[in-house]
Amino acid sequence: MRFAKIVFMVAGTWGVVVLAPLYWLVDLTGHRYAPPTDYPQFFYGFLSVAMAWQIGFLVIASNPARLRPLMVAAVIEKLGFVLTVVVLHGQARLSSRDTLVIVPDLLLGILFVIALIKTQAIGQQRSSAEQKAATKKY
């Protein structure tokens, strides 16, 4: 469970640090792509949803065993983005350089899967220990 706590704490912290400046650096995106002036709600909406997930990762870190079901959604959040970028690259809609942004999410997605598996093993050990304790009472 310590592994899951560390992974989700690092992921949430990293995400907040990386995403928060984008609220004030919207013009930075306009250097490589058209600035999101026509539809700013998509840009800021994406940031808001992404920031909410970072807070979710920090919440999961507070009690991974109890919040294990949310880890499934966290894996989908990370690997869903990776899959989206891979498909866009496969359709020649993103350059190879632009696909490099998936590296942190791919790594975190893999670590989330490992945390999910390790947390399940801990949960199974606890439940079998609880069953043994319950049978001893009778």
**Cα separations in angstroms, 94 against 1, 85, 119:** 38, 8, 36
Domain span at residue 66?
Answer: 2-137
**Cα separations in angstroms, 45 against 23, 36, 51, 72, 109:** 11, 11, 10, 23, 22
23 pLDDT band, cuts 50/70/90, is: confident
Q: Say what the pLDDT of residue 32 is.
A: 63
Q: Say what the pLDDT of residue 44 is.
A: 86
| Number of domains making up the chain | 1
User: Taking the model in full, what pTM does it have?
Assistant: 0.80
Sequence length of the chain is 138
Q: Say what the pLDDT of residue 81 is.
A: 94
Residue 68 pLDDT greater than 60, yes or no: yes
